[in-house]
Amino acid sequence: MERRRRRATLIGSVALLAVTAGCTADGDATATPAEPSTVSAAPPATGLPQVVARLQPSVVTVRTDQGLGSGVVFRDGGLVLTNEHVVGDQRDVELALADGTRVPARVVAADAVTDLAVLRAERTDLPPAPLRTELPAPGEPVVALGSPLGFLNSVTAGIVSGVGREIPGSASQGNALVDLIQTDAAISPGNSGGALADYSGRVVGINDAYLPPQTGAVSIGFAIPVATAVDIADDLLDDGKVTQPYLGLAVTRLTAEIARSLGAATDRGVLVRDVAGGGPAAAAGLQPGDIITGLAGDRTETLEGFLGALRGVEPGQRVPVTYLRGSDSRSTTVTPTAATR
């Protein structure tokens, strides 16, 4: 079976909450908003408007009974990606296109855990956006397209602030918002489901959430990598559900101080913070305080490396794990179960 990119189901998180950049009230323009790759060459300042103009027909406004969000045409036949929190429990929505026309659309399937939904427009000639499946590099310039606070066809610009990010606290809210692209391109309510694109006009992410000002944050937004989003969309189109590998453990970044306190000879790895009783990780003998250094044959020197290795794991697959317990180097095999949402 082809190894597919998947969002992993872990347990636990620390308490810092983000706001999903979800539906804003329709027309509410005065509302208060609650492995690196080659960098694309930035076009001249006079060329960026042309790049945006080419991409805008592939970015739609999603109108629901609750308000509006955004979406991206990702495949022929009128298929559109957006966030699950944009559509909620609705099955029929309306798409506003860049040329001002509107078209009905049906929600094919949605998944609350990964916060993604697939729509099918009644028009089948909508142009799919160019997609870039490799992650952008930190520092790369990007633009966010969508309809924040009812301002249709808006564009904001910034850079990629980081990759492999997670939103702490999201698991406790029922979402698995991990392995995200962080950007300082302004993201506001209504941007959800819209495009984060590089300067050549290729979509690198689906805009999803931001940290609100009351947390002390300034321009910290998040997008789901487009490769992850399309993989989940394929699952939703196949059978209407997303199957994820469940390990039954929570990991966090390992600091030099924690490594010294555990008696480890290295700070390269990820720290096991919690293990679910009776889960696959517990059955494999993993314990809180262990330091995972390898998964499925890949080195996991960082949290991003661990999440990247986990994306290629299938439920039911026997996966080798190397780890440190104190100064002892150990190995085991974990068999993740399927977590179907």
pLDDT at 50 over 60: yes
User: pLDDT averaged over the chain?
Assistant: 84
pLDDT digits over 125-171, tens only? 999 999 998 889 999 999 999 999 989 999 999 999 998 787 755 54
Question: Measured between alpha carbons, how far is 195 from 142 in angstroms, rounded to an integer?
Answer: 10
Residue 238 a catalytic site member: no
pLDDT digits over 280-290, tens only? 999 999 999 99
C-beta of residue 207 within 8 angstroms of C-beta of residue 146: yes
- The pLDDT score that the predictor gives to residue 28 is 38
Residue 198 a catalytic site member: no
Name which of 116-120, 155-159, 242-246, 334-338 the model is least confident about.
242-246
- The pLDDT score that the predictor gives to residue 251 is 86
Question: Measured between alpha carbons, how far is 193 from 209 in angstroms, rounded to an integer?
Answer: 10
pLDDT digits over 200-232, tens only? 999 999 999 988 888 888 889 999 999 889 988
* Residue 333 bridge partners (DSSP): 320
pLDDT at 19 over 70: no
- The pLDDT score that the predictor gives to residue 36 is 33
Name which of 122-126, 146-150, 249-253 the model is least confident about.
249-253
pLDDT at 339 over 80: no
pLDDT at 336 over 90: yes
Mean pLDDT of 68-81: 97
Catalytic one of 115, 198, 235, 290: 115
C-beta of residue 106 within 8 angstroms of C-beta of residue 119: yes
- The pLDDT score that the predictor gives to residue 23 is 64
C-beta of residue 18 within 8 angstroms of C-beta of residue 170: yes
Taking the CA atoms of the chain, what radius of gyration do you get in angstroms? 20
Catalytic one of 40, 70, 85, 111: 85
Total Cβ atoms within 10 A of residue 263 = 12
pLDDT digits over 301-329, tens only? 887 678 778 877 888 999 999 999 999 99
The residue whose two tokens read 């941007």 is 191
Catalytic one of 154, 192, 231, 290: 192
pLDDT at 299 over 50: yes
Angle at 169 between CA 223 and CA 271, to 5 degrees: 95
Q: Say what the pTM is.
A: 0.71
- The pLDDT score that the predictor gives to residue 169 is 55
pLDDT at 22 over 70: no
pLDDT at 341 over 80: no
Name which of 4-13, 191-200, 266-275 the model is least confident about.
4-13
Mean pLDDT of 14-43: 45
**In which band, very low, low, confident or very high, does the pLDDT at 29 lie, cut at 50, 70 and 90?**
very low
